[in-house]
Amino acid sequence: MMGTGKSTVGRCLAKTLNYKFLDTDQLIEKKENRTIEAIFKETGESYFRNIERDIINQFDNRKCVYSTGGGFPIFNRNIDKLKDIGQVVYLKTSSIELLNNRIKNNSSRPIFKDAISFENLLKQREPIYYEADFVVKTECKTPEEIASEISLLIE
């Protein structure tokens, strides 16, 4: 889910494992030469989700940590494709307040509207998130601690 630290933890994990790190949102912005927010505003969510589908077809499992957007595993059943590529980790942050505080003032989050709709979005997505190979709780842990925990799980 957005605000759980996927990109930050992903970078730490890649460094810990000596793997390459790729962030799908950055790949999409580079491909489109515009921000995620602009893509949503100018061409809509459906267009964005199609780009995500195309991006996943470029993935391979050779020593790489992929950080995906929160909706990435949900749409087009990308969770199945991700699991075919490698091990999937759901970074679980139980506190809606904490997640809300992390993202509420970030204009680059096109899906975020308010705390109530955010909580509903999490409830809708979480059943698919739980299909991940591992669920790692993030509360009271540094990104480095989370990366270390994940590195022990995936070996």
Range name among 81-85, 114-118, 133-137, 145-149 with the lowest pLDDT average: 114-118
Judged against a pLDDT cut of 60, whether residue 53 lies above it is answered with yes
Query: Does the pLDDT at position 130 exceed 60?
Result: yes
Residues 24-52: tens digit of each pLDDT: 999 999 999 999 889 989 999 889 989 98
Strand partners, 78: none
pLDDT recorded at residue 120 = 80
SS3 (DSSP) at 42:
helix
- The dotted CATH code for 6-154 is 3.40.50.300
- Residue 95: predicted pLDDT: 65
Whether this model's pTM surpasses 0.85: no
> What pLDDT, on the 0 to 100 scale, is given for residue 59?
83
Query: Do residues 46 and 27 lie in contact, with contact meaning Cβ atoms separated by under 8 Å?
Result: no
52, exposed or middle or buried, with CB in 10 Å at 0-12, 13-18, 19+?
buried
Q: How far is CA 155 from the centre of its chain?
A: 21
**133 vs 153: CA distance, rounded Å:** 10
